[in-house]
Amino acid sequence: MKILFALFISLFLTGPALFFAQSSTSSDDSGYTPESEYIDTYHVFIKVETNGSLLIEETISVYAASININHGIYRDIPFTKRLANGFNRVYPITIVAILKDGKEEPYHVEDNMGNTRIYLGSEDIYLTPGLYEYKIVYRIDEALNFNSDYTELYWNAIGTEWIFAINSASILIHLPGGAGDKLISHDAYIGHYGETFTNYTFERIGDILKYTADDAFQPETGFTVMTRWPNGIVAPPDEDQKFMKLFRDNTGFFVITAGIFLIMIYYIVMWFIAGRDPKKGSIMTYFDPPENLSPGAMRYILGMKYDPKIFSTTIISLAVKGKIQITEDREKYKLVVTTDTLSGMTDEEKAVFNALFSGRRSIDVDNAYHSEFAEAINKCKSTLKTRYEITYFVQNRHIFIPGLILTIIVVFTGVLLFSANFIAAFVLGWLSFWTFGVAVLIKSVGQVWIDAFTSTQKKGSKFAGAIGMTLFSSVFVAGEIVGIVILFFVMNTSYWLLPVCIIAILINYIFYRLLKAPTLAGRALMDKIEGFRMYIGAAEKGRIEVLNPPAKDIATFEKFLPYALTFDMEKNWAGYFHDVLEAAKQGPSSYSPSWYNGSSFSSSDFGSFTSSIGSGLTSALSSASTSPSSGGGGGGSSGGGGGGGGGGGW
């Protein structure tokens, strides 16, 4: 049996050469100089087998001049292609023989981003300048396309990624079982990727088809054939075989999809057990903060999380209570201590006050003091967490974190199975973190543009800041685009990877929010906060007036202004007190808040002032807490179908 196999290989290797010999061009007549490297002749013989496999022999005659070709050549053969439906198709490759000048040649194989890269030659041997003939024989399984009306060989026999010019090129195809007499079409395409030039000569002798290029090829010029014949000569796969082929070639997709489905079931079950909110009670209007809660505490409890506005409302609350004064000059803020007594402060207000003013009477809101502001923010967070979390709401992180870890494992496993490429998994991991950062940046850019358009003061500087922020962020957005291009175009990863990863992110984000739940005590307190919020928002002004609210005067306006800011209702609050503020403006001494001294205050537009102090101080405090250093007949084309790739020297 081994003797018969060896005899077959010998005939297979030498037989095509007899057919090609009549059209081969000698290197002596090539017109190339000894200083250049080129492919003199490139002949491809493809034997289509009745099981749908291809036995391919590539005969490549190259001139080596010790420029790129020192040890030999390399050949990239794609083993994965992305189909029009977005799924991957894998072409299993088996190397049969590697020869140089008729003798066995050492070689080694590496994975190169979806290509099987075959290095012909040995790194211990250097070639002397001259002409060498290489033969690469390999088998490709499951290579044919089966349509309802025909069987098709659509094959990029000479890839578009060769770095050398090619003097003479031809393709010989041996069809099975009389298919040559029943051809439906026999097209070929020459050119760079996507081009459809047809400057070739076609010949047929029985089941042998020959395509000969009329002209020499420039580097990165390919030669693709598209041949169709009636069904029945090669047995097509049945539906079960088609599905198994799809499953094998896209195992990563099915792993990620099944994994995400199971993780979603896990989240749903755990939400049903531990994450459902207690039923809301009846909401009654409150005219004072329930349980003497601070503005920051109310926002923390309602949102069941910390956000930057909690810190700014805490600062404003300290100012309104007369503990500090906020001064502002051209959007530069400064906090000045007015009294050292801590009476009347809540726990988080005391923590912030001590962190900022230990050993000083004032502090500029500037990132020169980023460590002080970062410490104050951390103290504010930790105090609120200790005081209110668990008692009034639970994050259920012990449920969410396992789901998140499982999602990461499933996605990375799927990516590795999708591409069989660790680099692709690394790029996806990098892209995931990068995407998160870019999303935060884009959100910030949107906010600064909103501030620029809605601000009534210093519009020029705000627009300049928005433009600067946009330009800064564009660099990171460009990095995001480059990462996506590398992942989905250079590495040829399936398009389905992106939507399933987005779905995975969305599921985790949705359940991160859903799993947070108030306790029974928290639900009761939230109902009271909602009642106080109704008063601050003046949502039912007529009903509020009937219920004997607090005196409608400047003192009440200032006392509850931090709460209006924490509820994002500062304009509603200013509107509710519009007549009082207008009267104060017309009085003997025009109203000006004692807790604030700066250019943003305007007695003619209290609504804009309250919005400006809230957004401006929040932005300034966020910046101050950041370290300064962070920052044809068949519709084909050249390069289409299976096969392809290219090569070079090493």
Both structure tokens of 200 = 């070739």
DSSP assignments along 491-538, one per residue:
S---TTHHHHHHHHHHHHHHHHHHT-EE-HHHHHHHHHHHHHHHHHHT
Dist. CA 585–CA 414, nearest whole Å: 67
Dist. CA 96–CA 135, nearest whole Å: 10
Q: What pLDDT shows up at residue 5?
A: 35
SS3 for 238-266, per residue? CHHHHHHHHHHHCHHHHHHHHHHHHHHHH
DSSP assignments along 63-78, one per residue:
EE-SSS-SS-EEEEEE
30-54 pLDDT, tens digit per residue, is 444 445 889 999 999 999 988 888 9
DSSP assignments along 574-619, one per residue:
HHHTHHHHHHHHHSSS----TTEEETT--TT-HHHHHHHHHHHHHH
Buried b (16+ CB within 10 A) or exposed e, 358-393: eeeeebebebebbebbbbbbebbbebbeebbbeebb
The CATH class, in words, for 32-248 is mainly beta
Chain-centre distance for alpha carbon 548: 55
Instruction: List the one residue out of 139, 415, 403, 413 whose CA is nearest residue 266.
Output: 403
Residue 121: phi and psi, rounded to 5, are: 115, 180
Residue 249: phi and psi, rounded to 5, are: -75, -20
User: Looking at residue 344, what DSSP letter applies?
Assistant: T
Q: 450-453 long-range contacts, Cβ below 8 Å, gap at least 24?
A: 451/615, 451/619
Residue 105: phi and psi, rounded to 5, are: -120, 135
Beta carbons within 8 Å of 468's beta carbon, 6+ residues apart: none
Burial class (CB in 10 A: 0-12, 13-18, 19+), 354: middle
488-522 pLDDT, tens digit per residue, is 665 566 677 778 888 888 899 899 888 988 999 99
Count of residues making up the chain: 650
- Residue 17: count other Cβ atoms within 10 Å of its Cβ: 15
Q: What pLDDT shows up at residue 636?
A: 58
Q: 3-class DSSP state for residue 370?
A: helix
Chain-centre distance for alpha carbon 101: 48
Instruction: List the one residue out of 87, 92, 101, 168 whose CA is nearest residue 133.
Output: 101
Chain-centre distance for alpha carbon 308: 26
Q: Which helix (H) or strand (E) holds 317?
A: helix 308-320
Residue 24: phi and psi, rounded to 5, are: -70, 145
Find out whether 222 and 160 touch, Cβ atoms under 8 Å.
Answer: yes
Beta carbons within 8 Å of 334's beta carbon, 6+ residues apart: 326, 327, 328, 362, 363, 364, 365
Beta carbons within 8 Å of 180's beta carbon, 6+ residues apart: 204, 206, 207, 208, 209, 229
Q: Which helix (H) or strand (E) holds 542?
A: helix 541-546
- Residue spans of the domains in the chain: they are 32-248, 280-396+516-624, 422-490
Pairing of strands 208-213, 517-518: unpaired
Dist. CA 440–CA 332, nearest whole Å: 24
Dist. CA 197–CA 168, nearest whole Å: 16
Chain-centre distance for alpha carbon 177: 49
Dist. CA 193–CA 180, nearest whole Å: 28
Q: Express the helix, strand and coil content of the chain in percent, nearest 5 each.
A: 45, 20, 30
Beta carbons within 8 Å of 566's beta carbon, 6+ residues apart: 295, 296, 298, 299, 309, 310, 313
Which amino acid is located at 456 in the chain? T
Both structure tokens of 118 = 């075959």
Q: What is the dihedral of CA 623, 626, 627, 628, to 10 degrees?
A: -20
Beta carbons within 8 Å of 645's beta carbon, 6+ residues apart: 75, 76, 77, 78, 115, 156, 159, 161
Dist. CA 391–CA 229, nearest whole Å: 75
Both structure tokens of 194 = 């996507």
Beta carbons within 8 Å of 103's beta carbon, 6+ residues apart: none
Q: Which helix (H) or strand (E) holds 191?
A: strand 185-191
Is the sign of the CA dihedral 166, 169, 171, 172 positive or negative? negative
Residue 189: phi and psi, rounded to 5, are: -140, 135
SS3 for 192-224, per residue? CCCCCECCEEEEEECCEEEEEECCCECCCCEEE
Dist. CA 201–CA 208, nearest whole Å: 14
Q: Could you say which residues of the chain have pLDDT below 50?
A: 1-34, 603-605, 629-633
Dist. CA 545–CA 582, nearest whole Å: 19
